[in-house]
Amino acid sequence: MHEGHHAVLAGLGAWLPPRVVDNDDLARRLDTSDEWIRTRTGIRERRIADAGTSTVDMAVAAGRNALRSADSELVDAVVLATATPDQLCPASAPQVASALGLSGVAAFDVNAVCSGFIYALATAAGLISGGVAGRVLVIGADAFSRYCRPDDRTTVPIFGDGAGAVVLRAGTADEPGALGPFDLHSEGEHADLLIVPAGGVKQRRSDDPDDHYLTMQGTAVFRHACARMAESARAVLDRSGLAVADVDRFVGHQANIRILQATAKQLGMAGDRVVANIERVGNTSAASIPLALADACHDGHLQPGHRVLLTAFGAGLTWGSTLLTWPDVKPGGDA
C-alpha cells in the first residue's frame, strides 16, 4: 500500500555533454557574432553531444543521477519526455529503463517538445494518483542540435543538448515536494511555427534536405510563448489560492532570456526570483526545466521551503505549468 496518492518530488538528476561550444566558435563558421547571439537570446555557450552520444545515453545518465539523489534504484515506471528519440519506433523509454536495470517496468515516451517535462510530470502524477505506480522516474532529454541545419544562424545558436530527471514518489499533498495543480494546453493550428516537416507519415521523405531540419518563426513564437506561459502560470496560482507574491522562484522553460524576462514582467515577478541558466546551456528543450532546477540547487538560489512555479512552452503548440514547495533534495550530477 502506498502512503498516499499524491506525486512528491524525491530526487533530481542532471547530465550535460562535456563538449562546450561558445558563441565565438559559432561566429567562425556562421554569419553571426557573440554580441548578436547574447543580445537576442542571452546565450553565451551551449553543450553539444558528440556523434556517439544518443538521446538514450543522455537520459540514462540523468536518470541514474536522479535515482542516486532519491537514494533508490527502483521505480515502477519511466516516463521520458523527448522530441528527439533515438528512432521513431520503438520508443526510447524502454531502452532507458533496461539500461538502468529496470527491465519490466512500464516505460513510454511523451512528446510535447519544450513543454515535454511539464507534460511528463503531469502524466507521472496521474500514474501515482491512480495507484498505478508508487514511484516514477521522469526524464527530459533532447539533442536538438542534430535537427538544426548546420548553416542556420536562427536555430544553431539557440539549441543545446542535455538531460535532466526527477524521481516522484507517492505521498501526501501537504508535504514538501508535492506537485500540483497542473495546467496543460495546446493549439495545433500553429504547428507550423516550430516544425521539422519531414520524417513522419505525412512526409516520410523529401527531396529538399531542409525539410529534415527544424524551422522556426521566431517572432510569432516569442509572442505566443510569453502570453501562454503567463496565462498558464496565473491559472495554477489561482487554483492554489496563491498570488505571484507567494512565489519564491519562477522556473520557466529556458528558450530565450528575453522570453523569460518578458513573462516574468507580465506576471509582475521580481527579477531576483527568476531562475535562469540559459547563458551556459542554451535551449535544451524537454531537459530545460530539470537542468535549471539542478543548477539553482547547486548554486544555492533554490532552497528547501521555496515555493516554486514551473512553466513551459513549446512546439505543437503546447504549454503548461505546475507548482511545488521545494523539498530537501541534493541533485545528482553536475549541471
Specify the DSSP element, H or E, that contains 138. Answer: strand 135-143
User: What's the one-letter identity of residue 78?
Assistant: V
Q: How far apart are CA 11 and CA 167, in angstroms?
A: 5
Indicate if the alpha-carbon torsion angle 161, 163, 164, 168 is positive or negative: positive
The position carrying cell 550535460 is 16
Neighbours of 102 (CB within 10 A): 21
Q: How far apart are CA 269 and CA 260, in angstroms?
A: 10
Q: 23, 148, 253, 277: which is the annotated catalytic residue?
A: 253
DSSP-based three-state secondary structure for 279: helix
Q: 114, 148, 226, 297: which is the annotated catalytic residue?
A: 114
C-alpha cell at 334: 553536475
Could you confirm whether 253 is annotated as catalytic? yes
DSSP 151-214: T-TTTTTTB-EEEEEEEEEEE-TTSTTB---EEEEE-GGGGGGEE--SSSSTTS--SSGGGGS-
- Is residue 322 within 8 A of residue 122, CB to CB? The reply is yes
Q: 224, 226, 283, 297: which is the annotated catalytic residue?
A: 283
Could you confirm whether 114 is annotated as catalytic? yes
Mind telling me the catalytic residues?
A: 114, 253, 283
